């Protein structure tokens, strides 16, 4: 792969007073949406192929099916009902092609749903990665060198091979922007294993484990509090990094300055919530029990600049309510609710006046789909634009109905239009009835649209702190509390945002502690069902605390940035760092199993 170099890494490494050079490994991981991949196809009365599918991107699915079968897109309709999770696993076409072929050949409806074993073996896993990290700093903890060498296993096919590779650098290197000597390079290799593909936080999660573990090792050599080392070197509001313009997601990046970045606040607040100063590094609570804390920080993105595009359409109905048509895909994330809130806010009506329809290539406008933490930022801006356009149309028609001198004289609040000079008023419902039934020559349908793509991808930030308890006789870990303080701009819906972060944390904990895609010697996947592939449940973590920093990004809808992926990035490093703080055992590969911990303890004891 191409090399990104800023400064002179090798020269500065020789001159740096304190250095870290280590290798880290991350394993493959299964997405495990509880609903497996499901597809149904039929021919409608117009002779067109209809596909109902659990996809994250209906428009891409339609395009790919059309290209594969040599059919024009106008003869294909793809739509997504409510589905049970995706996490990246449903970005690609899997069984939709099978149902399409069977239906076209037979003329009969068909369906195809994968068993859990088929999902595990025949879709995607997370990319397995190896990192060689080199850090150099002066004795005061000022980071000077950040060098990342990456080897990525894409499996049998190159699905998301390049983008995942580049995100490992582009979402980590800018976070520590004080280092002036930077290098990122590596290779992606094919292997005879299950193809690797998209999974929440791809690339960034793997790199976060390596970098945040290495930062703790640097703090150890500096005899410095790990939180202070991060505060000294992390990116802050108003700052930038040369990496933004050099590296994007699969290509050249776009320069950007952090118009919102509360990462320093997140670190300070997180250590307050966990009680860092009292608990760091560890406390012995029984002869064989130690409690400790660990930390990690993370940065993500909000869609892919000038590549992701979303659109929205609003239609006024008689009765004074609106149909909101969105191509954006709700996977159980609650994006339908969030987009409805944004549109309602822009129009100036209660959210119960919005009826949303989403993810239908025949009836909803184009959207790239649900990936890269893009929906709230990209599609949300489209909903806001459509809402503002609809509001302008409503006010113009209300001015005519009220015979106001100018539309600027109209006030619209509480679903009622009136002149700011007093006099008559007309409700939204009355206006809609007039436009469709009683205004004579002035009757018309009101429809407004909005489209959005952005030259920016404002990053959300997060600090994470974990408290664990280790049994030194068995190596068993119990997670007592996980604290996350998140800067995602304005939280349009705080409850949904909190659930997104909590879910991401739990998935990250799963990869950190249990999940391991295993193969036999002849290449057969052994972890192909949920009896031998453990995913975490809510009881595996005693307490999850999520707080949101007060933040506003002017590029987002009402100040919002993304929140979908940021939660998953930190658990691997935070837990590994807590293990080291407890027993002095540094584990540089996941999962962080009791066997590895106990082996490390015994090896350490044998050298005393």
Q: pLDDT by residue (tens digit) across 457-474?
A: 999 999 999 999 999 999
- Secondary structure, 3-state, 1-54: CCCEEECCHHHHHHHCCEEEEEEEEECCCCCCCCCCCEEEEEECCCCCEEEEEC
391 and 488 inside one domain: no
Rounded to whole angstroms, the Cα distance separating 262 from 488 reads 9
Residue 442 CA: distances (Å) to CA of 298, 405, 446, 448, 599: 55, 17, 12, 18, 81
| β-bridge pairing 477-487 and 76-79 | unpaired
**What's the helix, strand, coil split of the chain in %, to 5?**
35, 25, 40
Work out the average pLDDT over 556-568.
Answer: 97
462 and 266 Cβ atoms separated by less than 8 Å: yes
Nearest residue to 556 (alpha-carbon basis) of 355, 329, 385: 385
The β-bridge partners of 572 are none
**Count of CB atoms within 10 A of residue 473's CB?**
11
The β-bridge partners of 143 are 137
Alpha-helical segments (H) within 514-593: 571-583
State the pLDDT at residue 538: 80
Rounded to whole angstroms, the Cα distance separating 413 from 357 reads 26
Segment 392-395 long-range contacts (CB within 8 Å, at least 24 positions apart)? 392/448, 393/446, 393/448, 394/316, 394/347, 394/428, 394/431, 394/446
Rounded to whole angstroms, the Cα distance separating 483 from 498 reads 12
Q: Find the farthest-apart pair of alpha carbons in the chain and give their distance in angstroms, rounded.
A: 94
State the pLDDT at residue 3: 72
The pLDDT > 70 percentage for the chain reads: 100
66 and 152 inside one domain: no
64 and 198 inside one domain: no
Rounded to whole angstroms, the Cα distance separating 355 from 315 reads 10
150 and 104 inside one domain: no
Omega before 591 cis (within 30°)? Answer: yes
Q: What does the mean pLDDT of the chain come to? A: 96
**Count of CB atoms within 10 A of residue 521's CB?**
5
The residue among 122, 156, 174 that closes a domain is 122
452 and 311 Cβ atoms separated by less than 8 Å: yes
Q: What is the C-alpha radius of gyration for the chain, rounded to an integer number of angstroms? A: 26
- CA–centroid distance for 391 within its chain: 31
State the pLDDT at residue 1: 57
Work out the average pLDDT over 29-45.
Answer: 96
Backbone angles phi, psi at 360, to 5 degrees: -140, 115
561 and 260 Cβ atoms separated by less than 8 Å: yes
Backbone angles phi, psi at 25, to 5 degrees: -125, 140
Rounded to whole angstroms, the Cα distance separating 483 from 574 reads 11
427 and 473 inside one domain: no
483 and 548 inside one domain: yes
Rounded to whole angstroms, the Cα distance separating 401 from 441 reads 12
280 and 373 inside one domain: no
Indicate which CATH number applies to the domain containing 411: 3.30.365.10
366 and 492 inside one domain: no
Tens of pLDDT, residues 237-289: 999 999 999 998 888 899 999 999 999 999 999 999 999 999 999 999 999 99
452 and 309 Cβ atoms separated by less than 8 Å: yes
211 and 264 inside one domain: yes
The residue among 452, 481, 497 that closes a domain is 452
Kindly state the helix (H) or strand (E) to which residue 220 belongs, with its residue range.
helix 204-222
Tens of pLDDT, residues 324-354: 999 999 999 999 999 999 999 999 999 999 9
Rounded to whole angstroms, the Cα distance separating 145 from 601 reads 32
Strand, coil or helix: 449: strand
Residue 322 CA: distances (Å) to CA of 193, 338, 349, 383: 49, 15, 10, 12
If you search the block for the tokens 């149309």, which residue do you land on? 393
316 and 429 inside one domain: yes
Sheet strands (E) in 436-490:
447-452, 461-471, 477-487
Q: 9: which residues sit within 8 A by CB, 6+ positions away?
A: 134, 145, 147, 181, 182, 183
If you search the block for the tokens 């974990």, which residue do you land on? 466
State the pLDDT at residue 205: 98
Work out the average pLDDT over 209-232.
Answer: 98
144 and 171 inside one domain: yes
Rounded to whole angstroms, the Cα distance separating 427 from 441 reads 20
Angle between helices 494-513 and 571-583 (to 10 degrees): 60
The β-bridge partners of 519 are 525
Q: What is the pTM of this model?
A: 0.97
Q: 204: which residues sit within 8 A by CB, 6+ positions away?
A: 167, 168, 171, 172, 298, 299, 300, 565, 569
Nearest residue to 565 (alpha-carbon basis) of 58, 91, 166, 199: 199
State the pLDDT at residue 31: 97
Tens of pLDDT, residues 440-460: 999 999 999 999 999 999 999
The pLDDT > 90 percentage for the chain reads: 94
State the pLDDT at residue 598: 98
Structural domain range at position 333: 310-452
User: Which sign, positive or negative, has the C-alpha torsion 263, 264, 269, 274?
Assistant: positive
Q: Is 538 exposed, middle or buried (0-12, 13-18, 19+ CB in 10 A)?
A: exposed
| β-bridge pairing 282-286 and 289-299 | antiparallel
Tens of pLDDT, residues 47-91: 999 999 999 999 999 999 999 999 999 999 999 998 889 999 999
Rounded to whole angstroms, the Cα distance separating 200 from 569 reads 9
Total tally of structural domains belonging to the chain: 3
Please determine, for residue 2, whether its predicted confidence score (pLDDT) is greater than 70. Answer: no
State the pLDDT at residue 161: 95
Nearest residue to 341 (alpha-carbon basis) of 304, 311, 379: 379
Q: Is 1 exposed, middle or buried (0-12, 13-18, 19+ CB in 10 A)?
A: middle
**Count of CB atoms within 10 A of residue 399's CB?**
18
Angle between helices 226-233 and 204-222 (to 10 degrees): 110
283 and 389 inside one domain: no
The residue among 96, 122, 148 that closes a domain is 122
């Amino acid at each position: 792969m191409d090399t990104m170099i800023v400064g002179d890494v090798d020269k500065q490494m020789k001159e740096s007073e304190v250095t870290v050079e280590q290798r880290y490994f991350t394993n493959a991981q299964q997405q495990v949406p509880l609903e497996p991949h499901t597809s149904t196809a039929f021919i409608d009365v117009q002779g067109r192929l209809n596909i109902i599918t659990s996809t994250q991107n209906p428009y891409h699915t339609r395009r790919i099916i059309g290209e594969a079968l040599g059919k024009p897109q106008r003869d294909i309709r793809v739509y997504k009902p409510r589905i049970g999770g995706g996490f990246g696993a449903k970005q690609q076409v899997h069984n939709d092609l099978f149902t399409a072929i069977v239906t076209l050949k037979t003329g009969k409806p068909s369906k195809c749903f994968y068993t859990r074993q088929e999902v595990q073996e025949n879709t995607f896993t997370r990319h397995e990665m190896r990192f060689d990290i080199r850090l150099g700093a002066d004795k005061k903890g000022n980071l000077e060198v950040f060098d990342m060498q990456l080897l990525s296993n894409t499996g049998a096919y190159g699905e998301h091979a390049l983008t995942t590779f580049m995100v490992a650098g582009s979402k980590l290197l800018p976070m520590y922007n004080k280092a002036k000597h930077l290098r990122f390079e590596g290779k992606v290799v094919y292997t005879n294993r299950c193809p690797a593909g998209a999974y929440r936080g791809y690339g960034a999660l793997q790199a976060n484990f390596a970098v945040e573990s290495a930062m703790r090792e640097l703090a150890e050599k500096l005899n410095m509090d790990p939180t202070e080392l991060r505060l000294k070197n992390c990116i802050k509001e108003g700052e930038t990094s040369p990496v933004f313009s050099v590296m994007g997601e699969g290509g050249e990046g776009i320069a950007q300055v952090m118009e919102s970045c509360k990462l320093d606040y997140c670190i300070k607040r997180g250590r307050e919530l966990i009680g860092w100063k009292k608990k760091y590094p560890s406390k012995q609570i029984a002869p064989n029990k130690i409690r400790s804390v660990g930390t990690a920080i993370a940065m993500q993105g909000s869609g892919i600049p000038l590549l992701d595009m979303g659109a929205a359409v609003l239609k006024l109905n008689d009765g004074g309510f609106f149909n909101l048509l969105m191509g954006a895909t709700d996977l159980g994330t609650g994006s339908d609710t969030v987009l409805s809130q944004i549109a309602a806010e822009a129009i100036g009506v209660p959210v119960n006046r919005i009826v949303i329809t989403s993810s239908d290539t025949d009836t909803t406008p184009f959207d790239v789909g649900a990936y890269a933490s893009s929906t709230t930022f990209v599609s949300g801006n489209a909903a806001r634009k459509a809402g503002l356009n609809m509001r302008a149309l409503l006010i113009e028609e209300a001015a005519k109905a009220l015979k106001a001198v100018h539309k600027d004289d109209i006030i619209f609040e509480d679903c009622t239009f009136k002149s700011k000079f007093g006099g008559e008023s007309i409700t939204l419902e009355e206006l809609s009835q007039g436009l469709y039934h009683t205004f004579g020559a002035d009757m018309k349908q009101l429809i407004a649209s909005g489209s959005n793509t952005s030259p920016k991808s404002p990053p959300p930030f997060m600090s994470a702190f974990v408290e664990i308890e280790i049994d030194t006789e068995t190596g068993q870990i119990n997670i007592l509390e996980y604290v996350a303080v998140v800067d995602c701009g304005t939280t349009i819906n705080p409850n949904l945002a909190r659930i997104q972060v909590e879910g991401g944390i739990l998935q990250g904990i799963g990869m950190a502690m249990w999940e391991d895609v295993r193969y036999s010697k002849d290449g057969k996947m052994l972890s192909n069902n949920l009896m031998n592939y453990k995913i975490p449940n809510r009881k595996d973590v005693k307490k999850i605390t999520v707080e949101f920093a007060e933040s506003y990004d002017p590029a987002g809808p009402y100040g919002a940035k993304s929140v979908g992926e940021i939660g998953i990035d930190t658990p691997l490093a935070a837990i590994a760092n807590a293990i080291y703080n407890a027993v002095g055992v540094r584990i540089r590969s996941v999962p962080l199993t009791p066997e590895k911990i106990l082996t490390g303890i015994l090896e350490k004891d044998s050298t005393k």
